[in-house]
A and B are shown apart, each in its own frame.
Chain A
Amino acid sequence: MFDLIKSGKNKPALKPKPLAKMPHTELGMDYKAWCDSHKGTHKWRNIRWSVLIFMNLLFVVSFAYDLTILEGSLSGSRLIGFYLMDPFNALQLLAISSTTGYIGMLTMNFWIGFITILLFWFLLGGRSYCSWMCPYHLISEWAEKLHNYLVKKKKIKEHIFQRSLRYVFWFGFILLALLTQNLVFEDLNMVGIVSRAMIYGPGLLLLWVIAVLLFEIVYSKRFWCRYVCPIGTTYSMVGKLSPLAIKFDLDKCGYCRDCQAVCLVPHVLWFVQRGKATQEVHYTGSDCTKCGLCIDTCAGNALSYTIKGWGTIL
């Protein structure tokens, strides 16, 4: 709710810019040529993929060569001796252990890890975890490309569901954990399974990952990430008030909507459509994974990483 109020979605829309005020006219360029002028720029995508692969490799290398850099897996780890906990795992565990009384047994390291991870991703925008850290995200990103291609070729139909389904799953998994006294989600968790498979060697559960991936390719785009994954939902809640966001300057926008076309969560860029923006400046909401694809593609540099209140940083 807070997000909605701040986002300015409920305010009356501003009038669209006249042709004379459009960035391409000001530069004296043809509209199509202007729109395509940033095509092929992949700066942030390359940085992000490198970070994602590097961090996951750190896990693998730390185990393979017995280094004290980044030990454990994405379900729980130690960064140079400093504990970090997966928040949804921790929430399930806290839910169960508060009913059994086990909660008092949890170590200080657990609490430090849990609070640190929440603070860390709060500062970095919540779901940034998804696109900058989650190994399943990267695989799924490529699957999404394939999916889009198949849809374009009319081989398959797109199936869209409601995003609020993830809250059903979020509460559902917590409830399941409570009822079965087991970390049920961890047995289905893409992040954990892929992470453990990379670090400790592959297991049978990779078949489940492949099944979900195939489902995403042939039936519904990004099904797991968009509608199911409670880790992403948790991070989305964490990122509600996050200072880091993508900033949109209406002034520099050419209404081409290329950014929305490449966006992994297009609804966060609702304001880029002609006549939709209600303010001169908009910030993406907490579902935004801060992947930077929109920044790369924007011909007018209307989108940028920002710390709210500090102005544009990058």
Chain B
Amino acid sequence: MAKGDFDRREFLKSGAIAVGALAIVGSGVSYLDKSDEGTQLTQEFLRPPGAIGEIDFMYGCIKCGLCVQICPVHAIKLADVHEGLSYGTPYIDVRNQACDFSCDALQCVETCPTAVLDFEQFKNAGAIAVEKASKLPGVDLSKVNPFEVQKVAMKEAVKIGKAHVNRRTCLAHNRKGFKGISRGLDFEGILRSPDSKYDYATPLKDKEFDMEICNLCVTECPIGETAIVFVPGRGSGKLHPRVLDGCTGCGVCVMVCPTDKPSIVVEPIKS
């Protein structure tokens, strides 16, 4: 037998094993992929702002972690392997650290090289808002700050999910107030509250609340009255939070909610 024959036979043998191994990996992956489709996203596993649909997200995300890196409040984390095939993809667990928009620029989206966090939509939203603001009748153009307009429009265009109030446990629904530090002294989460005197996020545990009827989710919301309002209930006439369509799903309300299990949760948007 010539040496070449032996080489070829060896190659075919190990090549066949290699192809077999690849086939096993492949079928494993497609099995997991199927069972995971669309069920990936949960309240604890939300994608960062601007994420495209899960199917494209899965291959579009190259797992570089640049979004993790740039987030000033460290809201974004990379999933470990037990989250199935989403290994290495970014997620936000809003209960631990919500996106509070304190970067003011959706930096995670802008930094994404493969556009699975798609910046185009926010760029357009910002541009349209600036255009609109400049055309309002009786507006003194020199007094309009286009960056402020753009900033607000961009964050309002975010749609991670929508918050839902759990009436059974919500303190306001139970006509209870809240006094103290909402998540205790051990809680590490940070946030730039709308009434903060700083332009960056500060620890939530530094802020003490004293509310006759608890409305933390409303006062701390970075979006404001287009997202959540504190209104009297239709029947009872008692004040309680109501989530509106402007909710971005940023999850700040979930993070600040003082009940043991959050009484407000973000339901992810599924494509």
A227 to B14, CA, bound (A): 10
Q: Which residues of B contact A90 (CB under 8 A)?
A: 62
Q: A72-B64, A96-B59 are in contact. Are A187 and B85 (CB under 8 A)?
A: yes
Q: Are A62 and B69 in contact (CB under 8 A)?
A: yes
- Given A71-B70, A181-B33, do A203 and B81 touch, yes or no (CB 8 Å)? yes
Q: List residues of B (67-91) whose CB comes within 8 Å of A's CBs.
A: 68-70, 77-78, 80-82, 85, 87-88
Complex Cα–Cα for A73 and B68 (A)? 11
Say which residue of A62, A184, A200, A203 sits within 8 Å of B29 (CB atoms): A184
On whether the beta carbons of B18 and A172 are closer than 8 Å, the reply is yes
Known interface pairs A71-B70, A105-B118, A106-B114; A176-B22 also in contact (CB < 8 Å)? yes
- Docked Cα-Cα span, A90 to B82, in Å, equals 25
Interface residues of B in 3-30 (CB under 8 A from A): 7, 10-11, 14-15, 18-19, 22, 25-26, 29-30
Is the pair B11, A164 in contact by a Cβ cutoff of 8 Å? yes
* CB-based contact A182/B85 at 8 Å: yes
B224: interface (CB < 8 Å): no
Q: Tell me if A196 and B62 are in contact (CB < 8 A).
A: no
* Contact yes or no, A173 B22, CB < 8 A: yes
Do B65 and A100 have beta carbons less than 8 Å apart? no
Q: Is A149 interfacial (CB-CB < 8 Å)?
A: no
Is B66 engaged at the interface, CB distance under 8 Å to the other chain?
Answer: yes
Q: What distance in Å separates the Cβ of A303 from its nearest Cβ neighbour in chain B? A: 29
Asked if A93 and B60 sit within 8 Å, CB to CB, the answer is yes
Residue of B nearest to A207 (CB): B81
Nearest CB in chain A: distance from B258 CB, A: 29
B25 near A184 (CB under 8 angstroms)?
yes
A168 to B10, CA, bound (A): 14
B111 within 8 A of partner (CB): yes
Task: Answer whether residue A89 sits at the interface, using C-beta atoms and an 8 A cutoff.
Answer: yes
Tell whether A63 pairs with B30 under 8 Å between CB atoms, given A73-B64, A168-B18.
no
Interface residues on A, range: 35 or more
B173 interface contact, C-beta 8 A: no
**Are A75 and B63 within 8 A (Cβ)?**
yes
Q: In whole angstroms, what is the CA distance A62 to B65 when docked? A: 12
- A-chain residues with CB within 8 Å of residue B58 when the two chains form the complex: 181-183
Of the residues B80, B113, B119, contact of A76 by C-beta under 8 Å: B113
Contacting residues of chain A (170-188) with chain B, CB-CB under 8 angstroms: 172-173, 175-177, 179-184, 186-188
Does A78 interact with chain B (Cβ within 8 Å)?
Answer: yes
Contact B33 A196 (CB under 8 A): no
A109 interfacial by beta-carbon distance below 8 Å: yes
Tell me whether B269 is interfacial, beta carbon within 8 Å.
no
- Tell me whether A179 and B56 are in contact (CB under 8 A): no
Scoring B10, B15, B22, B88 by chain A CB atoms within 10 A of each residue's CB, the highest score goes to: B88
Q: How far is the CA of A168 from the CA of B15 in the complex (A)?
A: 7
Question: Min CB distance, B6 to chain A, in Å?
Answer: 11
What is the interface of chain A, defined by CB distance below 8 A to chain B? 62-63, 71-73, 75-78, 83, 85-86, 89-90, 92-93, 96-97, 100, 102, 105-107, 109-110, 113, 161-162, 164-165, 168-169, 172-173, 175-177, 179-184, 186-188, 192, 196, 199-200, 203-205, 227
Q: A76-B65, A181-B33, A183-B63 are in contact. List 15 more A-B contacts (CB 8 A).
A: A76-B62, A76-B63, A78-B66, A89-B63, A93-B60, A113-B113, A161-B14, A176-B29, A181-B58, A182-B29, A183-B61, A184-B25, A184-B29, A200-B78, A205-B81
